[in-house]
Amino acid sequence: MSQPCHYSGLKPSRVMASVVEWLDGGRAEDKMSAAARLTQQRHMKYRAGKKARALELLQTKDALEATVQSLQDRARSRKPTSLLSWKSISVALKDSRDDSHRQNRDLRAQIHALQRLMSELGAWVDMTKELNPSCPTWRDTNLPQHPESRRMAKAWITQRMLHSTDAMFQQHGFPAWDAPQEDMDVWCDEDFTFSDMGIVCRSRRNYIDQQSLEDSISFIQNDCLAAVLILAPKDTVIVVVLLITYETQETSTQLNTVVTPTGEFVNILCAAFHQGPDRCTLVVRHIVQDDLHAHPSGCRQRSRTMWLVGFAAVV
């Protein structure tokens, strides 16, 4: 017959609580181990990625260094003039800018000079009434001061006299240019006209010279004052020679300025035009108003004009 059993130790409720506590503690430890392993794996992946990135950067660095070295070697092998440095380009641009500034200043100066010339020549072209071309006007006896307008005025005066040569000789009864030489009369005369305005002396001469055409023209040009019957010491005569263009040919003009011993102010403009190998026309006119040479007070002036046409002898 069985004996009744006796149990010592914990009560059932306490035993169950201990088991639960043991089970909960094991689960917490498992959770902590899993978190540590996850963190460790993350660190390992981070370090592995960092090493891979560092290795990639080293490889990129090596590749870039190789590229730079290749470019440097290629640059050393090229000619020095293949490329310009930025300093050379800067210097070239500065020189170009300076040249542009200088050109701009020169053009502005040229514009001012042309504007002044236009203002001075405005009176020359401002004609309100047509005049007789055979009658002299103030344009035929005036010289401005500006060098360019002065040159143009000399060309105007002398070429206008040249264009009126045929009419002038016809008006004063000279034979035709193509008249036979044996039919030409060799003569010389003078005519004086007195009026309230003064005395007008006209001298005509038609003759055959023993000198050549070139020598005759040179003789008159060398002593232009004597050709118009002006006596003055040669060392007191101021002669200004200027070249003008006539029909694409340069023509020499002379301006002879002197005060004669008799107190006369002389300012004679002379020009010779060679019209082919066998003809030369020489014109002379007194300049009444010269802006460059002041008219001496107390000195009188005489209006003088001369046309001389020379022909070479036909052999």
- Residues 255 and 290: their CA atoms lie apart, in Å, by 11
Q: Which residue has the tokens 């040479």?
A: 293
Residues pairing with 188 in the sheet: 205
- Residues 143 and 268: their CA atoms lie apart, in Å, by 12
pLDDT at 40 over 90: no
- Residues 167 and 208: their CA atoms lie apart, in Å, by 22
Helix and strand element counts for the chain (H, E)? 6, 9
H helix intervals, 126-228 = 147-163, 165-171, 213-222, 224-227
Q: What is the pLDDT of residue 56?
A: 92
The per-residue pLDDT for range 177-226, each reduced to its tens digit, is: 777 766 666 678 888 888 887 888 888 888 888 888 888 888 887 777 77
Q: Where residue 2 falls among pLDDT bands split at 50, 70, 90?
A: very low
The structure tokens listed for 303 are 């209006």
188 contacts 204 by C-beta, under 8 angstroms:
yes
| pTM beyond 0.75 | no
* Side chain identity, residue 266: V
The per-residue pLDDT for range 105-141, each reduced to its tens digit, is: 999 999 988 888 888 777 666 655 555 555 677 788 8
Nearest C-alpha neighbor of 233 from the set 269, 255, 259, 265: 259
The per-residue pLDDT for range 259-312, each reduced to its tens digit, is: 888 888 888 899 989 888 888 899 999 998 888 877 788 888 888 888 988 888
The structure tokens listed for 302 are 């005489």
Phi and psi torsions of 69, nearest 5°: -60, -40
Nearest C-alpha neighbor of 259 from the set 232, 286, 287: 232
The structure tokens listed for 266 are 């002389």
285 contacts 307 by C-beta, under 8 angstroms:
no
